Amino acid sequence: MSDRPSPPRKPRFQRHSGKPARRDFGPRRTFGDPETVVLYGWHPVVEALRNGKRAIRRLLATENSARRLHEELGEHLPAEPEIVRPDEINRLVEADAVHQGLYLEASPLPSPSVETLSGKGVVLALDQITDPHNVGAIVRTAAAFGVEAIITTARHSPAATGVLAKSASGGLEHVPFMVVRNLSDTLIALGERGFQRVGLDSSGENRLDEVPLKEPVVLVLGSEGKGLRQRTRECCDVIGRLDMPGAIKSLNVSNAAAISLFAVTKAVSGPTRP
């Protein structure tokens, strides 16, 4: 065996080209910071970049996605993306998240209050719906129907970020969230302002399409398993139900939201003009 000392080994993460080692983007985000909204995926990020009310803090993109961003937004791109590799975004999002090479951190959008709601269009209230995929799908539907705001509770509700934002597919930029401490108190306050409070529940005494509706109206949806809480029901003016003619009598809450929003918005908008 030779007594010559062996040359020191290069660190495993050093590139042979002499480029610096991979940047440390920190641990995977927990999405618990209420002052930071995390968006990823093409539609959520592009809609946020188009929204002049969004304060952009950080934009990461792979080379291909950055090129596509410039083609889509051109000179209207509000922030120049930092070019990264896909695995560097992987470290910042949930496991198995489909980020499509785009990651954005931004400030929350301005939130309405009971006093600032115009009453034009439907307001949607969610009574402790906890699945972010369901809430995201509801947000996307709400954006399609021109819902003025979505009311959620500070507890037992997912934050408007991460998985929820991806499921909403850009809808977060078009329907503001109003986060309240107590949903019942908020419904009472809305009633005092003249809002018709319509709960949706399978045990409702009236078919939703037979309930006389008028603006301003707030449609209240219950949680995935328990439906509307008793106190929430007591704060509604009427409880409607969706009658299903087929063998399956219950729907996923996001599907029920789509059908009920169609019925309610059609009813309050009046007869269709030719």
| pLDDT tens-digit map of 213-238 | 999 999 999 987 788 999 999 999 99
The pLDDT of 46-74, averaged and rounded, is 95
Residue 84 above 70 pLDDT?
Answer: yes
- Give the per-residue pLDDT at 5: 52
In whole angstroms, what is the distance from residue 31 CA to residue 270 CA? 42
Contact 134, 253 (CB under 8 A): yes
- Give the per-residue pLDDT at 225: 77
The pLDDT of 47-55, averaged and rounded, is 95
**pLDDT mean across residues, the chain:** 87
- Give the per-residue pLDDT at 69: 96
**Environment class of 119 (CB within 10 Å of its CB; exposed 0-12, middle 13-18, buried 19+):** middle
- Give the per-residue pLDDT at 270: 67
Q: What is the pLDDT of residues 249-273, one digit of tens each?
A: 778 899 999 999 999 999 988 665 4
In whole angstroms, what is the distance from residue 81 CA to residue 201 CA? 45
- Give the per-residue pLDDT at 226: 82
Cβ partners under 8 Å of residue 187, min gap 6: 125, 197, 218, 220, 232, 235, 236
Q: What is the pLDDT of residues 133-190, one digit of tens each?
A: 999 999 999 999 999 999 999 888 898 889 999 999 999 999 999 999 999 999 999 9
- Give the per-residue pLDDT at 271: 60
pLDDT-derived band at 33 (thresholds 50, 70, 90) equals low
Residue 246 above 90 pLDDT?
Answer: no
In whole angstroms, what is the distance from residue 170 CA to residue 45 CA? 7
Percent of the chain with pLDDT over 90: 69
Instruction: Locate 254 and state its tokens.
Output: 């996001």
